[in-house]
Structure 1
Amino acid sequence: MNMEQLLQRGPYSLDKDEKTEMLTEGLKKLGEHHIENCPEYRRMMNTVNFSPENMKRYEEQPFLPVRLFKELQLKSIRDEEVVKTMTSSGTTGQAVSRIYLDRDTAALQQKVLAKIVSDFTGKSRMPMLIIDCPSVIRNRQMFSARGAGILGFSIFGSRRMYALTDDMELNLDEVQMFLEEHKGEPILLFGFTFMVWKHFYQELVKLYDKTGMKLDLTNGILIHGGGWKKLISEQVSRDDFHRHMKDICGLSRIHDYYGMVEQTGTIYMECEYGHLHASNFSDVLFRNPRDFSLCNKGESGIIQVVSLLPKSYPGHSLLTEDVGRYLGEDDCPCGRKGKYFMVEGRMQKAEIRGCSDTYAAKS
């Protein structure tokens, strides 16, 4: 099955056997491509004596520690083919990952993101409130993870409005006018978790305490991501987040997502049962931290992510610095096929990263 055929399928339509066969073939080809076109990757694969042609299942493909992208310039394209450089989040003094995209890889990432998200929001574009400030996307040549996330999700907005000023203040008058103009319509909201909490939810609480007024977002769908570390330190759980958002503005359709700039496009969306899902275009594996063996269902391990999208750089099989739990496959009550899981946190001594966590560290 080639990529065009895969794009014609529902994003969660492949069962375990179909997906294993498809991922094995696709990742084998990507491995061969990067060995041929990325000298650094070729040397690493030679060091571990790996040849893609001998790979029987995609789980056998060596992973790269995601931290390598902070230390090496890894790309499988010529310098003149680079149209966009993505940078990961990083607090002051931390190195950042640099991800090099050509036109084909960037376009494919956008197509797959649209395919995944529309399974949760529907295919029609909606008026969109971005819980951020407009200045974050002004440099179109070099995007931070935060800017890339905003730009990527902006394709779902028929009309877009930034809810915050460049001083990170809630632009209440403009938000009220926007909601009044689109009264009765479904509204899409997008933002990074901590920023939604600090600059939107907490400001709405202040507004209610002062005036007794609430915004009406009962027709809203909120997509948020970028890390929970700061909220957990404030003792805000996922259930707390959902309950408080519904209380203050009526939002009940809320979807977290897990993703990273090193594999832009292949995000893992949270379904209505609170499970993160791997789509047809990617998968998650869970590695025992003692010997990197695969974890069984119900066990926690270091999250490995594989993706069919990265062709301009060797980011198709990465070991993250996150810990998660493998919950099941093909049997989530929501009906979506594929693996589903939860993220439990960062590995001990791992750097803080993630769009929300990075912003919070500067606050």
Structure 2
Amino acid sequence: MIEIDFDAIYSQSKEQKNATLLAQFNQLTEFHYQHCQLYKNIIDTLGLAPTNGCLELVPFLSTQLFKELELVSVPKSQIIKTLTSSGTTSAKVAKIYLDADTAKLQAKSLVKIMQCFSGKQRLPMLFMEPSNLIADRRGFSARGAGVQGFALLGRDHHYALNPDMSINWQQLEQFFTKYQGQKVLIFGFTFMIWQYFYQAVSASGKTLPPLDAIVFHGGGWKKLAHLAVGKTQFNQAMQQLFGKAKVHNFYGMVEQTGSIFVECEHGHLHAPNCADIILRSEQDLSVINDFGQQGIIQVLSALPHSYPGHSILTEDLGRILGEDTCSCGRKGRYFEVLGRIKKSENRGCSDTYQEVSHD
């Protein structure tokens, strides 16, 4: 089991972090190579080595492989939960298998990361989701996994939506009235907050009491593109909706739950000590080292133990903006996500709500 220091989770500078992560990833790669036959077959076929001398040489898997193969590195009897993520155009579903150790690591990491933005006090929490989303405790969609993970940050959980995605006015008005003017946590996926909450509340003509909200949201930006809704407009809408709001976008995926990248006060997504990103060329997958250049995002996480998801090539494009130099004071690489690779499947953590098929 990988040992991870979760204290001061944005504290490691480049040299220290690279050395620590390399040792962890070499250990993880060797473990998965020995315990997941499918992973071993991939590594052998590609002629790669389970251990190496730099992060850029850590073998990576495509996100699509988690839809095609059953990738698991522990006995099935040890699996306590299965996370799923599905696309809008494909019937294939990615399955991520968690044992108790991996689930514990992911939960602890998520809490430590988010506390850097919300504080250690557990605040009243409102989810932009229906309460029945997490009814099955052994299996979650990406949305359900997000709700369960973020629930650890708050207390007195309320759910803003009904199962049919209409506003649950009783819950909503109860929460806003009870915590009027107080600091609260809000969690939801970007597109769902906009369509099923913000637009619905605006159309109702109702006025809700003001809150002092910390809003965490992620995924679903592409679905807002056709509405010409950008980050600035979204943040302004949150101010209008809650009265006062600190808004933090985050980037993450069900294949690496727990090691998410959160947007700081200056609008930059940050890699914590237990994770990192690498950019690769769209032409030949070579490493892009220069800041500001566009490339395919490869995400690395020291958390996956029960499945070989520690190094994944995504279908997203981004730019690394700097390392150890952000004005917010957090160490590590900081970056922005630019969108999906052309012709890649429109898929994300928001697990887009389907009118005819509920989660």
TM over 0.5: yes
Q: Give the Å deviation of 1:226.
A: 1.9
Separation in 2 of the partners of 1:52 and 1:126? 43
Does structure 2 conserve the Cα–Cα contact (< 8 Å) formed by 1:303 and 1:323?
Answer: yes
Structure number having the greater strand percentage? 2
- Counting only pairs closer than 5 Å after superposition, residues 240-255 of structure 1 correspond to structure 2 as 240-255=233-248
Separation in 1 of the partners of 2:272 and 2:356? 33
Equivalent residue, structure 2, for 1:16: 14
Counterpart secondary structure, 1:30: helix
The answer for unaligned runs of 5 or more in structure 1 is none
Superposition CA RMSD, Å: 1.6
Deviating beyond 6 angstroms after TM superposition, the runs of 4 or more aligned structure 1 residues are: 360-363
The answer for unaligned runs of 5 or more in structure 2 is none
Counterpart secondary structure, 1:344: strand
TM-score by length of 1: 0.94
Separation in 1 of the partners of 2:284 and 2:214? 41
Separation in 2 of the partners of 1:77 and 1:117? 29
- Counting only pairs closer than 5 Å after superposition, residues 94-109 of structure 1 correspond to structure 2 as 94-109=91-106
Does structure 2 conserve the Cα–Cα contact (< 8 Å) formed by 1:137 and 1:147?
Answer: yes
Separation in 2 of the partners of 1:86 and 1:271? 27
Among candidates 294, 298, 302, match of residue 296 of structure 2: 302
Equivalent residue, structure 2, for 1:346: 340
Q: Give the Å deviation of 1:153.
A: 0.5
Equivalent residue, structure 2, for 1:324: 318
Deviations 1:112-162, CA, capped at 9 Å, x for gaps: 000100000001111100011012111111110011111110111111010
Equivalent residue, structure 1, for 2:3: 3
Equivalent residue, structure 2, for 1:136: 133
TM-score by length of 2: 0.95
Separation in 1 of the partners of 2:215 and 2:157? 14
Q: Give the Å deviation of 1:175.
A: 1.5
Q: Give the Å deviation of 1:362.
A: 6.8
Separation in 2 of the partners of 1:252 and 1:38? 45
Counterpart secondary structure, 1:3: coil
Among candidates 48, 51, 57, match of residue 49 of structure 2: 51
Counterpart secondary structure, 1:325: strand
Equivalent residue, structure 2, for 1:119: 116
Does structure 2 conserve the Cα–Cα contact (< 8 Å) formed by 1:91 and 1:361?
Answer: no
Equivalent residue, structure 2, for 1:77: 74
Shifted more, 184-193 versus 302-311: the winner is 184-193
- Counting only pairs closer than 5 Å after superposition, residues 254-273 of structure 1 correspond to structure 2 as 254-273=247-266
Separation in 2 of the partners of 1:251 and 1:294? 41
Deviations 1:8-33, CA, capped at 9 Å, x for gaps: x2110000000000011000000110
Counterpart secondary structure, 2:298: strand
- Counting only pairs closer than 5 Å after superposition, residues 200-219 of structure 1 correspond to structure 2 as 200-207=197-204, 210=205, 213-217=207-211, 219=212
Equivalent residue, structure 1, for 2:28: 30
Determine if the alignment matches structure 1 residue 280 to structure 2 residue 277.
Answer: no
Deviations 1:305-360, CA, capped at 9 Å, x for gaps: 01100110000110000001111110111111100111100101111111436227
Deviations 1:267-305, CA, capped at 9 Å, x for gaps: 000111111110001001110011111112110100000
Determine if the alignment matches structure 1 residue 157 to structure 2 residue 154.
Answer: yes
Among candidates 284, 306, 314, match of residue 308 of structure 2: 314
Separation in 2 of the partners of 1:262 and 1:352? 16
Equivalent residue, structure 2, for 1:197: 194
Separation in 1 of the partners of 2:350 and 2:112? 24
Counterpart secondary structure, 1:131: strand
Q: Give the Å deviation of 1:206.
A: 1.9
Separation in 1 of the partners of 2:101 and 2:353? 31
**Kindly tell me: are residues 235 and 362 of structure 1, through their superposed partners in 2, closer, same or farther at Cα, counting changes over 3 Å?**
farther
Does structure 2 conserve the Cα–Cα contact (< 8 Å) formed by 1:301 and 1:323?
Answer: yes
Shifted more, 310-319 versus 137-146: the winner is 137-146
Separation in 2 of the partners of 1:139 and 1:99? 15
Q: Give the Å deviation of 1:361.
A: 8.4
Separation in 2 of the partners of 1:107 and 1:17? 28
Shifted more, 175-184 versus 32-41: the winner is 175-184
Separation in 1 of the partners of 2:263 and 2:152? 19
Counterpart secondary structure, 1:97: strand
